[in-house]
Amino acid sequence: MAPDPWEGCFWSWGLLLWLSVGSTGDAPPTPQTKCTDFQNANILQGTNLKAQFLLFTPSDPRCGQLVEESSDIRNSGFNATLGTKLIIHGFRALGTKPSWIDKFISTLLQATDANVIAVDWVYGSTGVYFSAVENVVKLGLEISRFLSKLLVLGVSKSSIHIIGVSLGAHVGGMVGHFYKGQLGQITGLDPAGPEYTRASLEERLDPGDALFVEAIHTDTDSYSYLICDHMRAVHLYISALENSCPLMAFPCTSYKVFLAGHCLDCFNPFLLSCPRIGLVEQGGVKIEPLPKEVKVYLLTTSTAPYCVHHSLVEFYLLELRNQDTCITVTFLSSSVTSSVKITIPRQQRHGKGIIAHPSPQCQIKQVKLTFQTSHRWKKERTIIIGKFCTAPLPINDNKKTVCLREPVNLQASETVSHDLKITCI
């Protein structure tokens, strides 16, 4: 089946890359401790916070060790020489444990050697959403007090990475604010919108909350809750941890402008180091100093592993026309097809767009071009002649551009196929 960025509830991904330039030993071996799971609550129990801190380690990724006091941490499998990652879930309407949390923890521990601490605040996040919002500051203070115990053990602020989901992203921002932006990294997975679209910088996740801040937005309908695209950010991130297929994004002013093919490289402002999702240092951005805030975009497939390759497709008309010209471009690779429609405005010769495909461009064997007409009820004999070209993103120079050798003749509503011969690099 074709990878279709418009299929299902999720069709795009946007990343706000927020950046602000701003003695230990191995833990002794400990006997197996009692494993603790997340709490369950109901809609009548959503006022008290009752936060728990559950430690998961590489040696026992399925056992959550309840660590509250400094003595608990010292007697656990916590390793102060490793990085520490805190996972903070969001609003829990039904008071249940997040369905994704176990997979997230195990995948994170497989991807990196670190201490993983899951913050269970199911009680405080259950019931009415606005009550959960009122608990954000309380939870932020409680997490900050917990982190202070880790710092006493020799953990550095820069080694702490908070991963917050939905409302949990703003909790992470609050913690970062309390630590004056000196924590290493905060990742916000589709930060909650309600009550936060007009919030002050002190009340929400913002660029100054850590040395490196990233926000992955996947909700395309104003953050309506219980919509599958809201949680797609979590599954995207898990997939990025599991797979080597890169989820690479491109800086652009808007998603519409990106789809139109106007943002083809990462030269400005990243000097060609395109950002990626996952546990890549500074998101793969290798420049110094880091820019403060940048919006970047990419396309995905509708199912895991979600990653695609992006290509620019262009068509140059031989003669001007007095009306818009719409052409559907389809890439074929084995049994997979990917399509995009490009429009050449009236009295212009050039149209372009971005097409997403799961295979590298050199594996695309054929391209199909269809001249679309608005008069479907009658047979048109209009023929256009032009030149077709394509290039994989990022396009740093014109050496990657491949054009069909012969001019393409397209008759309205008919499809023409051409072989693509692109060398794998």
Using alpha carbons, list the distances in angstroms from residue 362 to 301, 309, 340, 352, 385.
Answer: 19, 11, 18, 20, 26
CA-to-CA distance for 2 and 331, rounded, in angstroms?
A: 10
Q: How many angstroms separate the CA atoms of 251 and 291, rounded?
A: 12
The phi, psi pair for 47, rounded to 5°, reads -105, -40
Q: Point out the catalytic residue in the list 166, 311, 333, 338.
A: 166
The dihedral region occupied by 306, where left means phi > 0, alpha psi between -120 and 50, and beta the remainder, is: left
Q: Reply yes or no on whether 166 is catalytic.
A: yes
3 state DSSP class of 117: strand
CA 183 to the chain's CA centroid: 21
Amino acid at 127: G
- CB-based contact 326:342 (threshold 8 Å): yes
Query: What distance in Å separates the CA atoms of residue 145 and residue 143, rounded to the nearest whole number?
Result: 5
Query: Phi/psi at 252 (nearest 5 deg)?
Result: -160, 160
- Residue among 170, 217, 230, 309 flagged as catalytic: 230
- Catalytic annotation on 350? no
**Assigned token pair, 386:** 């032009």
Q: Which parts of 23-159 fold into alpha helices (H)?
A: 70-74, 101-111, 129-134, 136-152
Provide the b/e sequence for 151-166 (b: ≥16 CB within 10 Å). Answer: eeeebebebbbbbbbb
Ordered DSSP codes for 289-350: SPPSEEEEEE---SSTT---EEEEEEEEESS--SS-EEEEEEEEETTEEEEEEEEE-TT--E
Distance CA 284, CA 1 (A): 31
Based on the residue annotation, tell me whether 125 is a catalytic residue of this protein: no
Beta bridge partners of 385: 409
Catalytic residue among 89, 170, 190, 235: 190
Question: How many angstroms separate the CA atoms of 93 and 150, rounded?
Answer: 31
Helical (H) or strand (E) element with 60: strand 60-66
Q: Which residues are catalytic?
A: 166, 190, 230
